[in-house]
Amino acid sequence: MFACRTAIILLVAFILSLASAAAQVDDVLTFNENRLGEINSPGATVSYAIAAMPGETVALQVLGFNEGLVPAFSVFDNANNLIRVVENSSGNSVVQGNVTFTQSGTYIVQIRGANNTIGRFVVSMQPAVAQPDATPLNIGQMVLNVVSLTAPIQRYSFGAQPGNALTLQVRSIVESGGPAVTLIDALSGETLATMSPRLTGGDWQIPSGAGSFIVEVQHSGASFDEGFSINLLTGTIAENVAASAVSVAPTVPPPPPAPSPTPIPEDVDLVLRWNLDNIVVTNVSGGTPDLTGLRFVGGGLEVDATVIIQSGAPTALTAFPNGSCFAFRPLGFTEPPPSPPECQTMRAWWFSNNVVFWTGASFDVIYNGQTVTTCPAGSGRCEVDLPGV
pLDDT tens digits, one per residue of 129-176: 767 789 999 998 878 788 877 777 889 999 998 989 999 999 887 666
Flag whether pLDDT at 289 surpasses 50: yes
In a domain, 237, yes or no: yes
Per-residue pLDDT band at 323 (split at 50, 70, 90)? very high
The more confidently predicted of residues 3 and 237 is: 237
Residue 67's identity, in one-letter code, is E
The more confidently predicted of residues 375 and 18 is: 375
pLDDT at 43: 92
pLDDT at 73: 92
| 3-state DSSP percent of the chain in helix, strand and coil, to 5 | 15, 45, 45
In a domain, 148, yes or no: yes
Helix H or strand E encompassing 241: helix 237-246
Residues 278 and 227 reside in one and the same domain: no
Which residues constitute the domain of residue 41? Answer: 33-127
pLDDT at 236: 84
Rounded to whole angstroms, the Cα distance separating 107 from 226 reads 37
Rounded to whole angstroms, the Cα distance separating 63 from 223 reads 25
Residues 227 and 328 reside in one and the same domain: no
pLDDT at 312: 64
Rounded to whole angstroms, the Cα distance separating 279 from 361 reads 15
Identify any residues that bridge with 272 across adjacent strands, giving them in sequence order: 281, 382
pLDDT at 198: 77
Residues 275 and 378 reside in one and the same domain: yes
Residues 47 and 149 reside in one and the same domain: no
Residues 277 and 380 reside in one and the same domain: yes
The last residue of a domain, from among 77, 103, 127: 127
How much of the chain exceeds pLDDT 90, in percent? 37
Question: Which of these ranges, 226-230, 257-261, 264-268, has the smallest mean pLDDT?
Answer: 257-261
In a domain, 255, yes or no: no
Mean predicted confidence (pLDDT) in 326-338: 83
Rounded to whole angstroms, the Cα distance separating 238 from 205 reads 9
The last residue of a domain, from among 100, 127, 154: 127
Residues 361 and 291 reside in one and the same domain: yes
Mean predicted confidence (pLDDT) in 272-283: 92
The last residue of a domain, from among 73, 94, 127: 127
In a domain, 66, yes or no: yes
In a domain, 23, yes or no: no
Give the tens place of pLDDT for each residue, 58-107.
889 898 876 689 999 999 988 888 888 877 766 788 888 778 787 889 99
Give the tens place of pLDDT for each residue, 203-249.
999 999 878 999 988 877 666 777 888 989 998 877 766 655 443 34
Residues 145 and 97 reside in one and the same domain: no
Residues 238 and 282 reside in one and the same domain: no
The CATH number of whichever domain residue 72 belongs to comes to: 2.60.120.380
Q: Is 381 left (phi over 0), alpha (psi -120 to 50) or beta?
A: beta
Flag whether pLDDT at 177 surpasses 80: no
Flag whether pLDDT at 5 surpasses 70: no
Residues 55 and 119 reside in one and the same domain: yes
Per-residue pLDDT band at 299 (split at 50, 70, 90)? confident
pTM for the full predicted model: 0.46
In a domain, 337, yes or no: yes
Residues 238 and 302 reside in one and the same domain: no
Q: Mean pLDDT of all residues in the chain?
A: 82
In a domain, 206, yes or no: yes
Query: Residue 119 CA to chain centroid, in angstroms?
Result: 31
Residues 143 and 120 reside in one and the same domain: no
In a domain, 365, yes or no: yes
Residues 232 and 157 reside in one and the same domain: yes
In total, how many domains does the chain have? Answer: 3
